[in-house]
Structure 1
Amino acid sequence: MKKVALLATALAMVTGSAFAADMPVKALKAPPPPAFDPWDIAFGGAIMSDYIFRGITQSNHKPSVAAYFEPRYNVTKDLQLYVGLAGESISFPNRAAAEIDVYGGIRPTFGAFAFDIGVWGYLYPGGTCFYGAPTDTAGNPLSAQCAANALLNGNVMKKDVSFFEVYGKVAYTINDSWTVGLNEYYTPSFLNSGAWGDYVSITAKYTAPSTIFGSSGVGMYVSGEFGRQFLGTSDSFYGTGFAAPGFAGPFPNGIKYADYNTWNIGIGFTYKVFTLDLRYSDTDLSKANCNAFTSDYTAGFNGSFSNINPTGVGSNWCGAAGIAKLSFDLTAMTNLK
């Protein structure tokens, strides 16, 4: 009887094992991939020893602060739409309160090529017109509206110098260390002067290996840019600005501004969201042509004459300059999760 019981038990175990092997096994489902959130926001700020724009100071070689806010929408991982709002402190001849930038565009990526195409508006609220002298009674509608304000060095400036540019940029990533780029910006009226402007530049950036500073988290890069600013002819406001009250100026049809080259090179250090950038900037604009282009309110007579600057007043706003800039940059999806 005991043998029958043992045999029955063994048979039951074998049969049960066979049934278990034949039973379908329900596989566990893999967790769903994280939902794709196309929205992101980038924002940041900076303090710099000098606000240099295409080789020319916008802050009279004084410190400047800046900030930006940029909502982004990623249509796909290779296509981004964006708009932005930014601001910088400036020191312009027309005493504008600040530079306010409003911009938007599209950033498509194709393999190692990253494009950026858009429109950038430069707004300068709070400006005051400077033209002529307080005793100007010529009746010129341009000078009459500004006769109460005069720059002592004879330069003139419109109240509203706001303008916009359309731009296209492309960057090519060669490898983890090297990136090169090509940029172009065009405006029908640079600084609302009536003169068209076309800026073309090439850029290069070398990013050092992340291990260069060990495990400290500090990164380093070296970057540079060479560009050329092409400029057209201003309207008559600036052409007659050299004249004494009641007399026509030497350029009644406007000034053909001088084209110029500009370049910069610098080294940067990064740590988490912070960047310290140390840069050298320069142009080949003479002091005379710089004065004609910028209407520098600090310029003085120093014998700087040119065919578009008959006054002998020269400006230092376009010369060599060193810039130290400390900035921070964050994105909501990366830094604020």
Structure 2
Amino acid sequence: MDAFYASVEQMDNPLLKGKPVAVGGSEVRGVVSAASYEARKFGVRSAMSGYLAKKLCPEIIFVRPHFDRYKEISKKIRKIFHDYTDLVEPLSLDEAYLDVTQNKKGNPSATLIAQEIRQRIFEETGLTASAGISVNKFVAKIASDYNKPNGQKTINPDEVELFLEALDIKKFYGIGKVTAEKMYQHGIFTGKDLKERTREYLEEHFGKSGGHYYSIVRGIHNSAVKPNRTTKSVAAEHTFNTNLTSEVFMEERLERIAAELSKRLQKHKISGKTVTLKIKYSDFTLQTRSKTLPYFISDKSLIHETAKELLYQERMKDSVRLLGISLHNLNTETKKSVVVQLKFEF
């Protein structure tokens, strides 16, 4: 979907149409959850502080997130997907992989199916979507960003390698800013540069990921579309209106976060062994502290006690603007994805 949360807000409130909108955050506190395309022109992006967003775009309008509304529309979109194939792998409320090799419409053209799905989404929800069409998930994902918003890109089998060779390395899905910088240091700026490196070279300098990079630049990605994705972690976190300086106040907030996390876990009948405490300081640096228990937990009190122990594991280096708790090492490999929502205070 194109700027999904922000687009929903603009659709539901005509006064926001054509204006720079940030969902979540504020000019004083909080983090931007999504930004409209009008705001993106100024450099506003998701996960950016509201303060910086306001600085980049003085006219920006902050709106509270309405997750129930986003879920409602997401369900309509998923229903459209399932009219074409049951091989649908959701990544989030606004994104999914579809395998249409064998589809319910008997249409041999994935490109035409994508056009039809995008048209139906627009007619049934009023929102626009973009699509990437190719031979595997990796290439399709890159293609989906190519003609956004409200567009699509098809990369045929005989075009895949040339397309990837010409691509800036930072546009490869899964290669983040840190890895891209490291690749630049090795003289790898494009897919062509990456392709010229041997598997041994890449594994020596990038570890296990080296083999993955060697394959994907050649268009090889054998991951199937999985309708039931494995849930690897479940999390809840809060961004605070005012920075917290005392662990005593943090304890109280952690109890609320633990309660929210426990509610999600029990709703999906999931438990886990590894508790991770996430701390974001006033300077936006992140720190995580983890502990693995000898048994599975989902109970609020056990989560809270473990998180509290991690809180006092070492002294805080600064005041804290965000706390989060996540549970990993889960008791299931076949549970459906759990959507994680950020909690914002206004």
- Range of TM-score over shorter length: under 0.3
Larger Rg: 1
| TM-score computed with the length of structure 2 as normaliser | 0.19
Hey, which of these two has a bigger chunk of strand by percent? 1
| TM-score computed with the length of structure 1 as normaliser | 0.20
